[in-house]
Amino acid sequence: MMRLAEETADDWWEVEALLDLCFAPGREALSSYRLRDGVAPVAALCLVARDEDGTLTGAIRNWPVRVEGPVGKKWALLLGPVAVHPTHQGEGLGAMLILRALEMAREGGWSRVILVGDLPYYRRFGFARLEGVEMPPPTNPERVLGIELRDSAWEGVTGRVTRAMG
Ligand SMILES: CC(C)(COP(=O)(O)OP(=O)(O)OC[C@H]1O[C@@H](n2cnc3c(N)ncnc32)[C@H](O)[C@@H]1OP(=O)(O)O)[C@@H](O)C(=O)NCCC(=O)NCCS
């Protein structure tokens, strides 16, 4: 049995250690992290999963970003990082974290979500390649994926993804 809860300040370093374990070294050099620098995550959408012993088994964090294009500046939710401890991968925990975060984002009034990831994994949740939306380089455009939480929320929204500040 896994329990999901909002991440607290006390969870921060444990989640960092899980992310270090699950991602290749230098994860913070990824261009998506440039969109997170100095910006607070959306606290209500940062979740931790713990087993019955209280051991951290998975986590997801989400950040606000902007998409700046011809239709002006639009908010989007940058999903991730999401990680599941290697001993619990393949048990549906990643899906549980992602689906819960998406559901809460919709309830929280978010319209559109973006992420950088593998389409073969994320298409099961409804993510599709986002055409004309540019993450900071060097990001493979094939890995820039999005989902609409409101009808047509990505329609006509193109341009550069920027930090949600300034
Ligand atoms: C990606 C990750 C979060 C998925 O969590 P999980 O709990 O193992 O995922 P689920 O149990 O919900 O789903 C497992 C299924 O997804 C598939 N899957 C996992 N990662 C995949 C990927 N990168 N591409 C395609 N399929 C993938 C598994 O093969 C499995 O397939 P099956 O259902 O046909 O057996 C987890 O594997 C992880 O932490 N990986 C390392 C960090 C990472 O890559 N994070 C995502 C960055 S975009």
Is the beta carbon of 12 within 6 A of some atom in ligand 1?
A: no
109 Cα distance to chain centroid: 16
Is the beta carbon of 84 within 6 A of some atom in ligand 1?
A: yes
Quick one: 3-163 is in which CATH superfamily? Gcn5-related N-acetyltransferase (GNAT) (3.40.630.30)
Is the beta carbon of 139 within 6 A of some atom in ligand 1?
A: no
The mean pLDDT of the chain is 96
pTM as predicted: 0.96
pLDDT tens digits for 76-126? 999 999 999 999 999 999 999 999 999 999 999 999 999 999 999 999 999
pLDDT tens digits for 32-57? 999 999 999 999 999 999 999 999 99
Any idea which residue has 């999901």 for tokens? 4
Is the beta carbon of 82 within 6 A of some atom in ligand 1?
A: yes
Ligand 1 centroid to residue 119 C-alpha, Å: 11
